[in-house]
Protein backbone atom coordinates (compact mmCIF):
# COMPACT_ATOMS: atom_id res chain seq x y z
CA UNK A 1 0.00 0.00 0.00
CA UNK A 2 3.00 2.26 -0.48
CA UNK A 3 1.31 4.32 -3.20
CA UNK A 4 -1.78 4.83 -1.03
CA UNK A 5 0.38 5.75 1.95
CA UNK A 6 2.35 8.29 -0.10
CA UNK A 7 -0.86 9.86 -1.43
CA UNK A 8 -2.37 10.21 2.04
CA UNK A 9 0.85 11.57 3.51
CA UNK A 10 0.90 14.21 0.76
CA UNK A 11 -2.70 15.16 1.58
CA UNK A 12 -1.95 15.29 5.30
CA UNK A 13 1.14 17.50 4.81
CA UNK A 14 -0.75 19.76 2.45
CA UNK A 15 -3.53 20.34 4.98
CA UNK A 16 -1.08 20.80 7.84
CA UNK A 17 0.45 23.80 6.08
CA UNK A 18 -2.85 25.56 6.79
CA UNK A 19 -4.33 23.72 9.79
CA UNK A 20 -1.51 23.92 12.32
CA UNK A 21 -1.24 21.59 15.31
CA UNK A 22 -4.26 19.45 14.42
CA UNK A 23 -2.77 16.33 12.83
CA UNK A 24 -5.06 13.92 14.69
CA UNK A 25 -8.21 15.86 13.78
CA UNK A 26 -7.18 16.01 10.11
CA UNK A 27 -6.65 12.24 10.14
CA UNK A 28 -10.12 11.77 11.60
CA UNK A 29 -11.65 13.83 8.77
CA UNK A 30 -9.74 11.89 6.11
CA UNK A 31 -10.83 8.63 7.80
CA UNK A 32 -14.50 9.62 7.60
CA UNK A 33 -14.04 10.49 3.92
CA UNK A 34 -12.39 7.15 3.09
CA UNK A 35 -15.10 5.28 5.03
CA UNK A 36 -17.68 6.94 2.73
CA UNK A 37 -19.24 8.68 5.69
CA UNK A 38 -19.71 12.18 7.07
CA UNK A 39 -18.34 13.95 10.12
CA UNK A 40 -19.71 16.32 12.74
CA UNK A 41 -17.49 18.95 14.37
CA UNK A 42 -18.69 20.49 17.62
CA UNK A 43 -16.74 23.58 18.54
CA UNK A 44 -16.85 27.27 19.24
CA UNK A 45 -16.51 29.80 16.39
CA UNK A 46 -12.99 30.49 15.15
CA UNK A 47 -11.57 27.00 15.71
CA UNK A 48 -10.72 26.46 12.03
CA UNK A 49 -13.64 24.29 10.90
CA UNK A 50 -14.38 26.23 7.70
CA UNK A 51 -10.71 26.43 6.74
CA UNK A 52 -10.31 22.68 7.27
CA UNK A 53 -13.22 21.83 4.95
CA UNK A 54 -12.12 24.26 2.25
CA UNK A 55 -8.50 23.11 2.38
CA UNK A 56 -9.58 19.49 1.94
CA UNK A 57 -11.59 20.39 -1.17
CA UNK A 58 -8.77 22.52 -2.61
CA UNK A 59 -6.26 19.69 -2.13
CA UNK A 60 -8.11 17.33 -4.49
CA UNK A 61 -8.20 17.81 -8.26
CA UNK A 62 -11.59 17.22 -9.87
CA UNK A 63 -10.19 16.21 -13.25
CA UNK A 64 -7.15 14.27 -14.42
CA UNK A 65 -5.18 17.49 -14.51
CA UNK A 66 -1.62 18.18 -13.44
CA UNK A 67 -1.18 18.05 -9.71
CA UNK A 68 0.74 20.44 -7.46
CA UNK A 69 -0.94 23.41 -9.09
CA UNK A 70 -2.55 26.15 -6.96
CA UNK A 71 -6.25 26.90 -7.16
CA UNK A 72 -9.13 24.74 -8.33
CA UNK A 73 -10.00 21.56 -6.51
CA UNK A 74 -13.24 19.64 -6.26
CA UNK A 75 -16.47 21.57 -5.78
CA UNK A 76 -16.91 23.08 -2.33
CA UNK A 77 -20.06 24.65 -0.94
CA UNK A 78 -20.77 26.20 2.43
CA UNK A 79 -24.27 26.55 3.89
CA UNK A 80 -24.82 28.77 6.90
CA UNK A 81 -27.72 27.18 8.78
CA UNK A 82 -30.17 29.64 10.33
CA UNK A 83 -33.63 29.31 11.93
CA UNK A 84 -35.35 30.61 8.78
CA UNK A 85 -33.62 28.21 6.36
CA UNK A 86 -35.93 25.96 4.30
CA UNK A 87 -35.30 22.50 2.80
CA UNK A 88 -35.58 23.97 -0.70
CA UNK A 89 -32.65 26.28 0.14
CA UNK A 90 -30.50 23.15 0.34
CA UNK A 91 -32.03 20.96 -2.35
CA UNK A 92 -32.98 23.53 -4.97
CA UNK A 93 -36.26 24.38 -6.63
CA UNK A 94 -38.08 24.65 -9.94
CA UNK A 95 -38.01 28.10 -11.51
CA UNK A 96 -39.75 29.34 -14.64
CA UNK A 97 -37.45 29.72 -17.65
CA UNK A 98 -38.78 32.40 -19.98
CA UNK A 99 -36.69 31.16 -22.91
CA UNK A 100 -37.92 27.58 -22.62
CA UNK A 101 -41.42 28.54 -21.48
CA UNK A 102 -41.19 25.83 -18.88
CA UNK A 103 -40.10 25.16 -15.33
CA UNK A 104 -36.51 23.99 -14.90
CA UNK A 105 -34.84 22.66 -11.79
CA UNK A 106 -32.10 24.81 -10.32
CA UNK A 107 -29.82 22.70 -8.17
CA UNK A 108 -29.13 23.78 -4.62
CA UNK A 109 -25.80 23.70 -2.76
CA UNK A 110 -26.18 20.01 -1.85
CA UNK A 111 -25.04 19.18 -5.38
CA UNK A 112 -21.33 19.40 -4.64
CA UNK A 113 -18.34 17.31 -3.60
CA UNK A 114 -17.38 18.73 -0.21
CA UNK A 115 -20.16 20.41 1.77
CA UNK A 116 -19.67 22.46 4.91
CA UNK A 117 -22.95 22.54 6.82
CA UNK A 118 -22.15 25.31 9.27
CA UNK A 119 -23.98 25.47 12.62
CA UNK A 120 -26.42 22.71 11.68
CA UNK A 121 -28.08 22.88 15.09
CA UNK A 122 -29.29 26.43 14.45
CA UNK A 123 -31.70 25.24 11.75
CA UNK A 124 -35.11 23.70 12.36
CA UNK A 125 -35.46 19.91 12.70
CA UNK A 126 -37.16 19.81 9.29
CA UNK A 127 -34.09 21.27 7.57
CA UNK A 128 -31.76 19.05 9.58
CA UNK A 129 -33.72 16.00 8.43
CA UNK A 130 -33.49 17.08 4.78
CA UNK A 131 -29.70 17.18 4.97
CA UNK A 132 -29.34 13.97 6.93
CA UNK A 133 -31.59 12.11 4.49
CA UNK A 134 -29.32 13.15 1.63
CA UNK A 135 -26.30 12.02 3.64
CA UNK A 136 -27.84 8.61 4.32
CA UNK A 137 -29.21 7.90 0.84
CA UNK A 138 -26.72 9.89 -1.28
CA UNK A 139 -29.65 11.09 -3.37
CA UNK A 140 -32.24 13.83 -3.45
CA UNK A 141 -35.94 13.45 -4.21
CA UNK A 142 -37.77 16.38 -5.78
CA UNK A 143 -41.39 15.57 -6.44
CA UNK A 144 -41.44 12.34 -8.46
CA UNK A 145 -37.82 12.70 -9.54
CA UNK A 146 -34.84 11.21 -7.72
CA UNK A 147 -31.39 12.63 -8.45
CA UNK A 148 -28.18 10.96 -7.32
CA UNK A 149 -25.52 12.98 -5.55
CA UNK A 150 -21.89 12.63 -6.57
CA UNK A 151 -20.06 9.51 -5.37
CA UNK A 152 -17.61 11.83 -3.65
CA UNK A 153 -20.31 13.70 -1.68
CA UNK A 154 -18.81 14.38 1.75
CA UNK A 155 -20.37 16.50 4.48
CA UNK A 156 -18.50 18.24 7.24
CA UNK A 157 -21.21 19.53 9.56
CA UNK A 158 -20.51 21.83 12.48
CA UNK A 159 -22.56 22.65 15.52
CA UNK A 160 -22.25 24.97 18.46
CA UNK A 161 -22.13 23.47 21.94
CA UNK A 162 -25.71 22.71 22.95
CA UNK A 163 -25.46 25.10 25.90
CA UNK A 164 -25.42 28.06 23.49
CA UNK A 165 -28.65 29.95 22.81
CA UNK A 166 -30.69 29.51 19.64
CA UNK A 167 -29.83 25.88 18.98
CA UNK A 168 -31.93 22.82 18.11
CA UNK A 169 -30.09 19.75 19.44
CA UNK A 170 -29.81 16.91 16.94
CA UNK A 171 -31.90 13.88 18.03
CA UNK A 172 -30.03 10.65 18.76
CA UNK A 173 -31.39 9.00 15.59
CA UNK A 174 -29.92 11.81 13.48
CA UNK A 175 -26.62 11.93 15.35
CA UNK A 176 -26.28 8.23 14.54
CA UNK A 177 -26.06 9.14 10.84
CA UNK A 178 -22.69 10.83 11.37
CA UNK A 179 -19.78 8.41 11.19
CA UNK A 180 -17.72 10.51 13.58
CA UNK A 181 -18.09 13.45 15.93
CA UNK A 182 -15.00 15.36 17.00
CA UNK A 183 -13.96 18.68 18.48
CA UNK A 184 -11.16 20.76 16.98
CA UNK A 185 -10.35 22.36 20.31
CA UNK A 186 -7.75 25.04 20.91
CA UNK A 187 -4.16 24.62 19.78
CA UNK A 188 -1.23 24.63 22.19
CA UNK A 189 0.30 27.96 23.19
CA UNK A 190 3.39 27.17 21.12
CA UNK A 191 1.35 26.51 17.98
CA UNK A 192 -0.81 29.56 18.63
CA UNK A 193 2.33 31.70 18.92
CA UNK A 194 3.47 30.34 15.55
CA UNK A 195 0.07 31.16 14.02
CA UNK A 196 0.10 34.71 15.39
CA UNK A 197 3.65 35.26 14.16
CA UNK A 198 3.07 33.86 10.68
CA UNK A 199 -0.61 34.58 10.04
CA UNK A 200 0.13 36.60 6.89
CA UNK A 201 2.22 33.80 5.38
CA UNK A 202 -0.40 31.22 6.36
CA UNK A 203 -3.08 33.34 4.69
CA UNK A 204 -1.05 33.52 1.47
CA UNK A 205 -0.61 29.74 1.45
CA UNK A 206 -4.33 29.27 2.10
CA UNK A 207 -5.16 31.29 -1.00
CA UNK A 208 -2.97 29.05 -3.19
CA UNK A 209 -3.44 25.53 -1.82
CA UNK A 210 -1.93 22.96 -4.17
CA UNK A 211 -3.81 19.91 -5.38
CA UNK A 212 -2.02 16.73 -4.33
CA UNK A 213 -4.64 14.05 -5.09
CA UNK A 214 -7.05 13.45 -7.92
CA UNK A 215 -10.76 12.73 -7.62
CA UNK A 216 -10.15 9.14 -8.76
CA UNK A 217 -7.42 8.72 -6.14
CA UNK A 218 -9.99 9.27 -3.39
CA UNK A 219 -12.35 6.71 -4.93
CA UNK A 220 -9.46 4.23 -5.16
CA UNK A 221 -8.55 4.86 -1.51
CA UNK A 222 -12.17 4.30 -0.50
CA UNK A 223 -12.04 0.95 -2.28
CA UNK A 224 -8.74 0.13 -0.58
CA UNK A 225 -10.38 0.83 2.78
CA UNK A 226 -13.19 -1.62 2.00
CA UNK A 227 -10.58 -4.31 1.28
CA UNK A 228 -8.76 -3.93 4.61
CA UNK A 229 -8.62 -7.17 6.61
CA UNK A 230 -10.23 -7.36 10.05
CA UNK A 231 -9.40 -10.43 12.16
CA UNK A 232 -12.50 -12.31 13.37
CA UNK A 233 -11.40 -11.89 17.00
CA UNK A 234 -11.28 -8.13 16.53
CA UNK A 235 -14.81 -8.26 15.10
CA UNK A 236 -15.87 -10.25 18.17
CA UNK A 237 -14.23 -7.62 20.35
CA UNK A 238 -16.27 -4.92 18.64
CA UNK A 239 -19.43 -6.97 19.17
CA UNK A 240 -18.62 -7.24 22.89
CA UNK A 241 -17.89 -3.52 23.16
CA UNK A 242 -21.13 -2.54 21.41
CA UNK A 243 -23.09 -4.99 23.56
CA UNK A 244 -21.47 -3.62 26.72
CA UNK A 245 -22.78 -0.13 25.91
CA UNK A 246 -26.32 -1.54 25.82
CA UNK A 247 -26.15 -3.20 29.23
CA UNK A 248 -24.11 -0.74 31.27
CA UNK A 249 -26.15 0.78 34.13
CA UNK A 250 -24.78 4.29 33.43
CA UNK A 251 -25.82 4.25 29.75
CA UNK A 252 -29.49 4.88 28.92
CA UNK A 253 -29.13 4.27 25.17
CA UNK A 254 -26.39 2.03 23.79
CA UNK A 255 -24.75 1.77 20.39
CA UNK A 256 -26.93 0.50 17.53
CA UNK A 257 -26.05 -2.23 15.05
CA UNK A 258 -25.62 0.50 12.44
CA UNK A 259 -23.15 2.15 14.79
CA UNK A 260 -21.18 -1.09 15.06
CA UNK A 261 -21.01 -1.45 11.27
CA UNK A 262 -19.91 2.17 11.00
CA UNK A 263 -17.20 1.48 13.58
CA UNK A 264 -15.79 -1.34 11.43
CA UNK A 265 -15.85 0.86 8.32
CA UNK A 266 -13.97 3.59 10.17
CA UNK A 267 -11.44 1.12 11.58
CA UNK A 268 -10.68 -0.06 8.04
CA UNK A 269 -10.27 3.51 6.78
CA UNK A 270 -8.11 4.40 9.80
CA UNK A 271 -5.82 1.49 8.94
CA UNK A 272 -5.37 2.86 5.41
CA UNK A 273 -4.66 6.35 6.75
CA UNK A 274 -1.95 4.80 8.92
CA UNK A 275 -0.40 2.82 6.08
CA UNK A 276 -1.80 -0.64 6.86
CA UNK A 277 -4.07 -3.13 5.11
CA UNK A 278 -5.19 -4.72 8.38
CA UNK A 279 -6.81 -3.53 11.61
CA UNK A 280 -5.09 -3.85 14.99
CA UNK A 281 -6.57 -3.65 18.49
CA UNK A 282 -5.03 -0.21 19.10
CA UNK A 283 -7.25 1.15 16.31
CA UNK A 284 -10.26 0.41 18.52
CA UNK A 285 -8.72 2.57 21.24
CA UNK A 286 -8.05 5.39 18.76
CA UNK A 287 -11.56 5.51 17.27
CA UNK A 288 -14.00 4.48 20.00
CA UNK A 289 -14.43 8.04 21.27
CA UNK A 290 -15.03 9.82 17.93
CA UNK A 291 -17.13 7.01 16.41
CA UNK A 292 -19.19 5.60 19.30
CA UNK A 293 -19.48 8.25 22.03
CA UNK A 294 -22.02 10.52 20.27
CA UNK A 295 -24.32 7.52 19.68
CA UNK A 296 -24.76 6.94 23.40
CA UNK A 297 -27.02 8.64 25.92
CA UNK A 298 -25.47 8.66 29.38
CA UNK A 299 -27.32 8.99 32.66
CA UNK A 300 -24.96 11.66 34.00
CA UNK A 301 -21.96 13.75 32.99
CA UNK A 302 -19.47 11.72 34.97
CA UNK A 303 -20.49 8.62 33.05
CA UNK A 304 -20.13 10.49 29.75
CA UNK A 305 -16.53 11.32 30.62
CA UNK A 306 -15.38 7.90 31.79
CA UNK A 307 -17.58 4.90 30.96
CA UNK A 308 -16.81 4.44 27.24
CA UNK A 309 -13.08 4.85 27.84
CA UNK A 310 -13.21 2.17 30.54
CA UNK A 311 -15.19 -0.28 28.39
CA UNK A 312 -12.84 0.30 25.45
CA UNK A 313 -9.71 -0.19 27.53
CA UNK A 314 -11.06 -3.46 28.95
CA UNK A 315 -11.79 -4.82 25.48
CA UNK A 316 -8.48 -3.69 23.98
CA UNK A 317 -6.56 -5.30 26.87
CA UNK A 318 -8.50 -8.52 26.35
CA UNK A 319 -7.62 -8.55 22.63
CA UNK A 320 -3.98 -7.72 23.37
CA UNK A 321 -3.67 -10.77 25.64
CA UNK A 322 -4.85 -13.00 22.78
CA UNK A 323 -1.73 -12.14 20.79
CA UNK A 324 -3.64 -11.77 17.52
CA UNK A 325 -1.42 -11.86 14.45
CA UNK A 326 -3.16 -9.71 11.80
CA UNK A 327 -3.18 -11.26 8.36
CA UNK A 328 -1.35 -9.02 5.90
CA UNK A 329 -3.04 -9.17 2.56
CA UNK A 330 -1.08 -8.61 -0.62
CA UNK A 331 -2.13 -5.43 -2.38
CA UNK A 332 -1.39 -4.36 -5.92
Per-residue pLDDT 10s for the chain (332 aa) are 467 778 889 899 888 888 888 899 999 999 999 999 999 998 877 777 888 888 888 888 875 444 444 455 688 899 999 889 988 899 888 788 788 878 888 888 899 899 999 988 888 888 888 888 888 888 888 777 888 888 889 999 988 776 555 567 787 778 888 999 998 888 888 888 888 887 766 666 666 678 888 888 999 999 999 999 999 999 999 999 999 999 999 999 999 999 999 999 999 999 999 999 999 999 999 999 999 999 999 999 999 999 999 999 999 999 998 887 766 544 43
Predicted pLDDT at 332? 38
Is residue 17 a part of any domain in this protein?
Answer: yes
User: In the listed set 178, 200, 220, which residue is the last one of a domain according to the structure?
Assistant: 220
Is residue 4 a part of any domain in this protein?
Answer: no
User: In the listed set 189, 220, 251, which residue is the last one of a domain according to the structure?
Assistant: 220
Based on the fold, state whether residues 101 and 21 are members of the same structural domain. yes
Q: What's the chain look like in SS3?
A: CHHHHHHHHHHHHHHHCCCCCCHHHHHHHHHHHHCCCCEEEECCCCCCHHHHHHHHHHCEECCCCCCCCECCCCCEEEEECCCCCCHHHHHEEEEEECCCCEEEEEECCCCCCEEEEECHHHCCHHHHHHHHHHHHHCEEEECCEEEECCCCCEEEEEECCCCCCCCCCCCHHHHCCCCEEECCCCCCHHHHHHHHHCHHHHHHHHCCCECCEEHHHHHHHHHHHHCCECCHHHHHHHHHHHHHHHHCCCEEECCCHHHHHHHHHHHHHHHHHCCCCECCHHHHHHHHHHHHHHHCEECCHHHHHHHHHHHHHHHHHHHHHHCCCCCCCCCC
Based on the fold, state whether residues 150 and 252 are members of the same structural domain. no
Is residue 311 a part of any domain in this protein?
Answer: yes
Based on the fold, state whether residues 197 and 162 are members of the same structural domain. yes
Write down the mean pLDDT value for the chain: 86
Return the CATH number at 20.
3.40.50.300
Structural domain for 283, as ranges:
228-322
Is residue 1 a part of any domain in this protein?
Answer: no
Is residue 5 a part of any domain in this protein?
Answer: no
Distance (Å, whole) CA 279 – CA 289: 17
CB 312 within 8 A of CB 274: no
Return the CATH number at 233.
1.10.8.80
Predicted pLDDT at 65? 42
Predicted pLDDT at 162? 61
Q: Which residues pair with 251 in a beta bridge?
A: 298
User: In the listed set 220, 237, 252, which residue is the last one of a domain according to the structure?
Assistant: 220
Q: Judge residue 8's burial from the number of C-beta atoms within 10 Å of its C-beta, 0-12 exposed, 13-18 middle, 19 or more buried.
A: buried
Predicted pLDDT at 165? 57
Amino acid sequence: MSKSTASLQALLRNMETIIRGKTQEIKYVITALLARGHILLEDNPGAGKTVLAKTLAQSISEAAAELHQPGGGVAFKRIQFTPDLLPMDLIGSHIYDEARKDFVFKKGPLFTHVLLADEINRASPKVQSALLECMAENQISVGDTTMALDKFFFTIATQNPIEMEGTYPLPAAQLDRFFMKISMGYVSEEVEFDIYTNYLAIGNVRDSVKQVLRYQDILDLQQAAENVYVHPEIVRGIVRLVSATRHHPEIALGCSTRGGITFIKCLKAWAVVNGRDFVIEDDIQALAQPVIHHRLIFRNRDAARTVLAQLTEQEVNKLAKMGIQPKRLTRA
